[in-house]
Amino acid sequence: MTRPIRLEISLPAIRHNFLLTRRHSQARSLFAVVKANAYGHGVLDTAKALADLADGFALLNIEDAIRLREAGLDKPIALLEGPFDAAEAAAMADYRLCGAIHSQQQMDWLAKGSAKRPVDVWLKVNSGMNRLGFRPEAAIAAQARLAALPQARAAAIMTHFATADDDYGVAEQWQRFLPVAAASGLPVSAANSAALLRHPDTHGDIGRPGIVLYGASPFEDRAGTELGLRPAMTLSADIIAVQQLQPGDAVGYGRRFIADRPMRIGVVACGYADGYPRIAANGAPAAIDGQACPLLGRVSMDMLTVDISRLPQAGVGSRVELWGPSAPIEKVAAAAGTISYELMCAAAPRVPRVVRD
């Protein structure tokens, strides 16, 4: 493929970010969250890079868990939403997977399995997120039912915070969850990336770092680099044409940008079909050799345009960093009204990937 666009993944950055998180954590163990293809970074590459560091891995799809097992990874693997049917509950036993149990239906599926290979389960408590889990007043009864199932073994109790990353904090949810966790006598898993950095009293026994592993901040007011993290994903593409604008000239669909002075713009081989957000605003950060060349005009399917008026050395063939060390993904996401998680996960399969170790 000759189209000049690429997505570079830095495995050393992921390792650095894990070790930095470990230094912040008071949890006994850390399960690296590698769901959604490791937030777009590649589940197998990421898991192998962390195989000697992480105490376990957490993900969503049992297919990914089986891939890791078949690739030789022997660390504990947790399914964050548990099984989706009885066959998956049986496969959890076959592949030595643990994971969340958040409903009576999932317990019914477990009950159909073999008592010879009980599944380690994490009892999930709905402490206020109101997505998955048993309400606190029902959690102990759920644990009792688990204890009566020879096909299952309660290995942890877990919850998930809705506002660990903002000023509302976690106190309300933590106060609901903590008495239930204490009564259960089980190891506790509650802290996500934001809680691991901001709420040390919630770290418990098993931390679940996600976005921080990939170099982005979980907080709106701070970039990952300000936390000591290193970006693990760089999206870049080359300039394939240069246009000279005069005052009054418009750029792209919808005439969203109109020049107010003579300008040079670079047309870049990247568009929303590659995962760059169409809604990104004028001025979204981009860089050439570390120098700013902000986005101008509306992003189209296969191209976007940047301002190279102050970069006389830039021209056809110049590489434009669309997010990465010089164009923080958090700032690109903010310019598109979204979060870095979405941009990482949205990078399109058609973009060639280069994994650096």
What phi, psi does 177 have (nearest 5°)? -80, -40
**Is 1 annotated in some ligand binding site?**
no
| Cα–Cα separations (whole angstroms), residue 240 to 152, 171, 289, 315, 320 | 58, 52, 17, 8, 11
Write down the pLDDT at residue 90. 96
What is the C-alpha to C-alpha distance for residues 48 and 317, in angstroms, rounded to an integer?
Answer: 34
pTM for the full predicted model: 0.96
Determine the topology of domain 233-355 in CATH: Lyase, Ornithine Decarboxylase; Chain A, domain 1 (2.40.37)
Other Cβ atoms within 10 Å of 147 Cβ, number: 11
Write down the pLDDT at residue 115. 86
Phi-psi category of residue 130: left, alpha or beta, with phi > 0 → left and psi -120 to 50 → alpha: left
Write down the pLDDT at residue 219. 96
CB within 8 Å of 179: residues ≥ 6 apart: 136
Whether 1 shows a pLDDT value over 70: the answer reads no
Q: What is the mean pLDDT of residues 207-219?
A: 98
Residue with tokens 């301002």: 307
Q: What is the mean pLDDT of residues 239-256?
A: 97
**Is 176 annotated in some ligand binding site?**
no
Q: What tens digit of pLDDT does each residue of 125-158 get?
A: 999 999 999 999 999 999 999 999 999 999 999 9
Q: What is the mean pLDDT of residues 276-304?
A: 98
Count CA atoms within 13 Å of residue 3 on its CB side: 14
Whether 45 shows a pLDDT value over 70: the answer reads yes
Give the tokens for residue 36.
């959604």
CB within 8 Å of 225: residues ≥ 6 apart: 231, 325, 328
Nearest to 224 by CA among 7, 21, 10: 21
Active-site residues, by number, are 35, 253
Nearest to 38 by CA among 23, 24, 48, 53: 48
Domain ranges of the chain: 26-208, 233-355
Q: What tens digit of pLDDT does each residue of 3-27 get?
A: 999 999 999 999 999 999 999 999 9
Q: Which CATH number fits domain 26-208: 1.10.287.3510, 3.10.450.40, 3.20.20.10, 3.20.20.450?
A: 3.20.20.10
What phi, psi does 70 have (nearest 5°)? -70, -20
Q: What is the mean pLDDT of residues 248-273?
A: 97
Other Cβ atoms within 10 Å of 140 Cβ, number: 14
What is the C-alpha to C-alpha distance for residues 253 and 164, in angstroms, rounded to an integer?
Answer: 39
Query: What single-letter DSSP state applies at residue 119?
Result: E
Phi-psi category of residue 36: left, alpha or beta, with phi > 0 → left and psi -120 to 50 → alpha: left
